Amino acid sequence: MTGLKPLSDGLWIDEPEPRLIGGQRKSDGKIIFPMPTGDAASAYDAVPLSRTGKLWSWTIQGFEPKAPYAGPQPFRPFGVGYVELPGQVIVESRLTSITGLRIGMDMELVIEDFDGERACFAFAPKESA
């Protein structure tokens, strides 16, 4: 991986091919992301999620979010989308590109530098991942 500290612990498995960590509810098998923490965690089993999925919907974050936004400076517009992981869950994520996006296109999980000190997960078009 990048060797950077994750924005938040427990979001992904830090391996050469990282995977997000979801939670599968013990009572009915429903999968959510992220894996719950605290008291709620006892009702879930941690499960690795698919690395690939389909772009379900997306937009461009064209203005700097309000405080406590602490992202890269100066601010640059970025893609935000929902990626459907087959048979599991739809995940909200940063996108690595804001050009050439199409609903239904193949996407793949990547870990990228967020601000020089921390890493975040994102999804990239599979053709360029």
DSSP readout, 86-117? TTTEEEEEEES-SSS--TT-EEEEEEEESSSS
Predicted model pTM:
0.89
Q: Is the pLDDT of residue 97 over 60?
A: yes
Q: How many domains are contained in the chain? A: 1
Question: Helix, strand or coil for residue 7?
Answer: coil
Percent above pLDDT 90 for the chain: 70
pLDDT score for 85: 98
Q: Convert the pLDDT of each residue in 64-88 to its tens digit.
A: 888 777 677 788 889 999 999 999 9
**Could you tell me the pLDDT band of residue 129, with boundaries at 50, 70 and 90?**
very low
Q: How far is CA 52 from the centre of its chain?
A: 11
Question: Which pair of structure tokens corresponds to residue 81?
Answer: 């989308």
pLDDT score for 116: 85
Range of the domain at 73: 5-125
Close Cβ partners of 91 (under 8 Å, ≥ 6 residues apart): 20, 33, 49, 53, 82, 83, 85, 123
